[in-house]
Each structure stands twice: as C-alpha cells, then as structure tokens.
Structure 1
C-alpha cells in the first residue's frame, strides 16, 4: 500500500501529539501519556521534530528526528523512534516515511541521514 507523500506531515500542535501517542507507545511501552508530553516539550525546545505518516485521518507511522553535526562539520539528520502501527506492518509504510525524511533532509541541506537501530 503506497501512501501519498502529502500525507506525511511534521507534527506541531498538541492535538497531533495526542493522536501520535498510541503509535509511539507501541515502541516505548513504559512511557505514560504525561511522560510523553513532557518529553515532547523538552525535545521541541532542543529543536527535535516529529513526523507522521497518515492513512486517511489516522497516524500509522512516526519518526522523531534531530539535526546534528559530525566531526567534519557536516550537518546530518538523526532519525530515532521510527515506528509503524502494528496493524499496518509489514506494508512498507516505515520505508515510505524514512524515504520522505531522507528526501526532505537533503532538501534542507543535510549531508546524510542516520537511523538509530
């Protein structure tokens, strides 16, 4: 199932973050809603971003990213917390989201991206 790129967005407001929590909690089972919202607040202050892939009106995949710089002064995007909803695995949605982030990062001037495994 191929999801159009326009259904991938950066989450920026609280109702989007609340909608994302059930998906992220599949990866971070020990994270309460309050801890999640506190963590998001801290992460956003540090410039970290959260992207979501939507199917219809539901979030089905998430990825958190941050900008970093390596020892050669090259800017790159670090992808963490990449997760696809258990009901949509294995459908290639995580790959679609990661591909989108890769292209977006290159357009923003990243030399490369790296994924936390």
Structure 2
C-alpha cells in the first residue's frame, strides 16, 4: 500500500484504515503468494444519486516487482464477486491522471468505462 499511498506514514495510514472500517464499512483484502502479500485492495459500500448503491474501490495496488501477473485482475474480480454477492450491481473507482498503465488495465482488461473526471480542492486550515 505504501507504493500507492506514498504521502502517508504508517501511523496515519493505520488510523485512517481503522476509522474508515468503523465509520464507512471499508474492507481490505490482500493477495499473498508464498506467504508474501503481492497485491492489496480496499473498498467500501456507498450510496449516491448518480450510482445508487455501489462499491467504491478506494485502493488497488500490486507490488511494482509483481506487476503483469494478473494479481490486480484477481483482486478486482474478487471485489466484483463480493459486490454481487452483497446486492451491489455497480463498482466504481478513480485513477490518477498519471497512471496510464492502470487506465489501460481498467478499460481494456477489466472493461470499465470512463464516465467522469474527479476534481479535488484542498481547503485552508
């Protein structure tokens, strides 16, 4: 996860995961190969007027040394199955503009459709 969320130190990361689990129903799953975690996903149920009830994939990362081994595909397929088994018919995510390889993966391999831009504004303290 540190490869994806480089701005977080361990303490902040653990606190955010705990809070997201308790308050938002955030779920985290990993894929291990020979006892070593090679990919991780985090997602949570949400409701919006645009999507209705859906699953939001907050995090999906495969270790840089383990890419192109279908680990991301396996985890995202697991998220799809989890969603379907829990009555959700839509899965959505966002991906940083710079992550061109990830975009190809989502669109070509996983058949996601680009539906919007995500905007961010940081407010003053």
Query: Shorter chain as normaliser: what TM range?
Result: 0.7 to 0.9
1:115 Cα deviation after fit: 1.8
1:70 Cα deviation after fit: 2.6
Task: Determine the structure 1 residue equivalent to 2:6.
Answer: 29
Structure 1 consecutive aligned stretches of length 4 or more whose deviation exceeds 3 Å: none
| CA deviation map 1:43-100 (0-9, x unaligned) | 1112111111111211111111010113178311000111001110121110111011
Which of the pair is proportionally richer in strand?
1
Unaligned runs of 5+ in 2: 96-125
Q: Are positions 1:109 and 2:87 aligned together?
A: yes
CA distance in 2, matches of 1:101, 1:73: 17
Q: Which moved more, 1:66-75 or 1:52-61?
A: 66-75
CA distance in 1, matches of 2:5, 2:26: 17
Partner secondary structure for residue 27 of structure 1: coil
TM-score by length of 1: 0.74
Q: Are positions 1:57 and 2:35 aligned together?
A: yes
| CA deviation map 1:16-60 (0-9, x unaligned) | xxxxxxxx0011112111111111111111211111111121111
Task: Determine the structure 2 residue equivalent to 1:38.
Answer: 15
TM-score by length of 2: 0.69
RMSD across aligned positions (CA): 1.5
**Preserved contact between residue 41 and residue 75 of structure 2 (Cα < 8 Å):** yes
CA distance in 1, matches of 2:36, 2:68: 17
**Preserved contact between residue 42 and residue 59 of structure 2 (Cα < 8 Å):** yes
Q: Which is greater in Rg? A: 2
Q: State the aligned residue count.
A: 94
